[in-house]
Amino acid sequence: MSAAAGIGVAHLAAALTIPAASPLLAVGSVAIDAAPTPVKEWAVRTFGTADKPILLGGIAVALVLVTAGIGLAASRRRWIGVVGMLALATVSAVAATARIAEPLAALPAAVAAVVATGALLVLVRFGSASGRSPDARPAATRESPLDGRHVRSGRFLPGRRGVLLGGPALIAAAGAGGGTLVSSLRTSDAAVGRDQELPAPVSAAGQLPDGVQLDLDGVTPFVTPLADFYRVDIALSTPRLDASTWALPIEGLVDTSVSLSYADLLEMPMVERWITLSCVSNPVGGPYVSTGRWLGVPLADLLDRVGVQPGAEQLFAEGADGFSCSIPLDVALDGRDALLAVGLNGEQLPVERGFPARLIVPGLFGFVSAAKWLTGLRLSTYDDDIAYWTERGWATDAPVLTQTRIDVPGALESVPAGEVTIAGMAWAQHRGITRVEVRVDDGEWQQAELAADAGPDLWRAWSLRWESTAGGRHDVQVRSTDGTGEVQTEERTEPFPDGARGWHSIAFMVQD
């Protein structure tokens, strides 16, 4: 209970200073960074986007167990309580300063240490004396005069035990609630500058061709509504950067380094493009892929402005959550619509999408290209700067792999006999999809009908009408051919280290 009071108040202190330095978040972030890749993979696979609440919950449970132990020990030896709480606070302070290189980052932990230790000492002193655990005390001291006095005072105030536990609980709740309130006030859309008009593009995305969307229940919408966009990042607390003070340095192997403000950025000519973004962690048939209309400055224009020096190999991008990635310079400059994006689907980037600015590079997986909450861009060599996921064993260069997903029928869905429509999405960004084939029950491969082509940087819907001849279970497999003529490989791989390969396959039932 005393530790909870400490953490609650620390959360308030963090909200007033550096929100991500709040003890649970700081320890959680370090846990994410340090977790071995297979553990992370497992967490994403098992819990999906709930992985972070579950991590925080796990840390909280562990903390309750550890502090309960400290509390019990402290009822015998007070110094154990003091040392225990200080040790916990030290872990939190080290975690916070490891991720946030500012002395202020240790402040919430220090506050936690003082409050928790104070509350613990009060609890131990009065809690044990009020008769809570008399047997825990050595027999020799049980009848000491000191003891007697406290037992008496305990009788005078029978509600004391409730007060003792309630006090820290109240402090914990007030701290946590106050912290949350303060951070929501400090970070409303208006407070961070997310209430502005975006400039009109000099080159518009234009209407999508008619017929990109299949008129069929259960098929994925071609344009992903913002609320349904997949989200994958290492940020335990979503960074809320203030656009009015934000600046983006572009430096390293350049002729003239610059630092662009949000206003500078909005003054540059913008283009708008429909682009499909996908995640390397997407398993075969998985959901981590979305499509939107992105507004931004072409990276080529930015790099032109600073002047790239010979020897530069990569555009190294860093985000406010400690993420970084390596974009190969030749990819950034090969003419594709690689953007420093400020808008998505007609509005400023949502905060969880990387406000004020992020990158998007068609044809590269998000983890090697789509840095959110940008804090800096640097032209450098692969030796100079190593990307966050590269350090953890993932690929440094990772073009998207061709994937084909069956959306209808759903896995194990039972459909009426007769004509069955099998349909889904296929993507191979920047190469495009030229053919989708479907095979039922190990029969012949049949060519699916492709929906209208919206361009190589976008996914493509496909469908096949199939006549069922027998009831019961049927198995479907799909594969695509990309714009280079390459047929998707059958052999399955895990997402680690450079993306999942293999044909999606499901079973469905035809009613008798």
Ligand X SMILES: Nc1nc2c(c(=O)[nH]1)N[C@H]1C(S)=C(S)[C@@H](COP(=O)(O)O)O[C@H]1N2
What residue ranges bind Mo ion (CB under 5 A)?
A: 232, 279, 366-367
Cα–Cα distance for residue pair 496/332, rounded to 1 Å: 24
In the complex, least distance from residue 131 CB atom to ligand X, rounded to whole angstroms:
52
Residue 175 engages ligand X in binding (rule: CB under 6 A) = no
Q: Tokens 């530069």 sit at which residue?
A: 312
Q: Is the Cβ of residue 345 or residue 477 nearer to ligand X in the bound state? A: 345
User: In the set 30, 293, 314, 321, which binds ligand X (CB under 6 A)?
Assistant: 321
Q: Which helix (H) or strand (E) element contains residue 14?
A: helix 2-16
Judged by CB under 6 A, the number of residues near ligand X is 19
φ/ψ of 463, rounded to 5, equals -155, 155
Distance (Å) of CA 476 to CA 138, 198, 449? 72, 45, 16
Pick one of Mo ion, ligand X, none as the site partner of residue 231 (Cβ within 5 to 8 A by kind).
ligand X
Considering only residues 14, 232, 253, 299, which one is a binding residue for ligand X as defined by CB under 6 A? 232
Q: Does 371 bind ligand X (CB under 6 A)?
A: yes
Nearer to ligand X, 89 or 232 (CB): 232
User: Which is closer to ligand X, CB of 99 or CB of 353?
Assistant: 353
Q: Which H or E element spans position 165?
A: helix 160-186
Closest distance of CB 161 from Mo ion, Å: 51
Sign, Cα dihedral of 119, 124, 128, 129: negative
Q: How far apart are CA 486 and CA 400, in angstroms?
A: 13
Quote the DSSP letter at residue 67. H
From the list Mo ion, ligand X, none, partner contacted by residue 370 (C-beta under 5 to 8 A by kind): ligand X
Interface region with ligand X, contact rule CB under 6 A, candidates 80-88, 226-234, 425-433, 490-498 = 226-234
Encoded one letter per residue, x for contact with ligand X by CB under 6 A and - for no contact, window 53-92 reads ----------------------------------------
Sequence-distant (6+) residues with CB within 8 A of 187 are 19, 240, 351
Nearer to Mo ion, 391 or 419 (CB): 391
Quick check: 284 binds ligand X (CB under 6 A)?
no
State the minimum distance, in angstroms, from the CB of residue 242 to Mo ion. 26
Quote helix, strand, coil % in the chain, to nearest 5: 40, 25, 40
Q: Which residue has the tokens 């929906």?
A: 451
Minimum distance from residue 278 beta carbon to ligand X (Å): 7
Give the separation between CA 268 and CA 202, rounded to whole angstroms.
10
Quickly list H helices, 77-100. 78-99
Cβ closest to ligand X, residue 91 vs residue 205: 205
* Distance from C-alpha of 489 to C-alpha of 210, rounded to nearest angstrom: 31
| Residue 296 binding ligand X, by CB under 6 A | no
Smallest separation (angstroms) from ligand X to the CB of 324: 8
Contact segment (CB under 6 A) with ligand X among 151-159, 176-184, 244-252, 363-371 equals: 363-371
Cβ at position 178, least distance to ligand X in Å:
28
Q: Which residues contact 245 (CB under 8 A, 6 or more apart)?
A: none
CB of 34 to Mo ion, least distance (A): 19
* Nearest-angstrom CA–CA distance, 345 and 340: 15
Which of 353, 378, 431, 504 forms a contact with ligand X (CB under 6 A)? 353
52-60, 233-241, 249-257, 482-490 -> range binding ligand X (CB under 6 A): 233-241
Closest contact distance (angstroms) between CB of 52 and ligand X is 11
Which C-beta is closer to Mo ion: that of 172 or that of 317?
317
Three-state DSSP class for residue 441: coil
| Cβ distance to Mo ion smaller for residue 306 or 370 | 370
Minimum distance from residue 235 beta carbon to ligand X (Å): 6
Report the alpha-carbon distance of residue 367 to residue 364 in Å, rounded.
8
Q: Is 414 in a helix, a strand, or coil?
A: strand
Is there binding between residue 319 and ligand X (CB under 6 A)?
A: yes
Please give the torsion angle defined by the CA atoms of residues 223, 229, 233 and 238, in that order, rounded to the nearest 10 degrees: 120
Cα 48 to chain centroid distance, Å, stands at: 10
Choosing among ligand X, Mo ion, none, which partner's interface includes residue 382 (Cβ < 5 to 8 Å by kind)?
none
Among 234, 247, 333, 509, binds ligand X (CB under 6 A): 234
Report if residue 230 touches ligand X, rule: CB under 6 A: yes
Contact (Cβ atoms closer than 8 angstroms) between residue 315 and residue 332? yes
Cβ atoms within 10 Å of 392's Cβ, excluding its own? 15
Residue from the set 262, 323, 394, 427 that interacts with ligand X by CB under 6 A: 323
Residue 498 found at the interface with ligand X (CB under 6 A) = no
Question: What is the distance, to the nearest Å, from the Cα of residue 351 to the centroid of all Cα atoms in its chain?
Answer: 12
| Closest distance to ligand X from the beta carbon of 195 (Å) | 21
Tokens of 346: 């007609």
Task: With CA atoms as reference, report the closest residue to 23 among 32, 34, 10, 12.
Answer: 10
| Residues 13, 7: Cα–Cα separation, whole Å | 10
Q: Is residue 126 within 8 Å of residue 164, measured between CB atoms?
A: yes
In whole angstroms, the minimum distance from the beta carbon of 396 to Mo ion comes to 14
371 binds, among Mo ion, ligand X, none (CB under 5 to 8 A by kind): ligand X
The answer to whether 427 contacts ligand X (rule: CB under 6 A) is no
8 A C-beta contact, residue 340 and residue 249: no
Shortest spacing between CB 360 and ligand X, in angstroms: 9
Residues forming the site for ligand X (CB under 6 A): 229-235, 277, 279, 319, 321, 323, 353, 366-367, 370-373
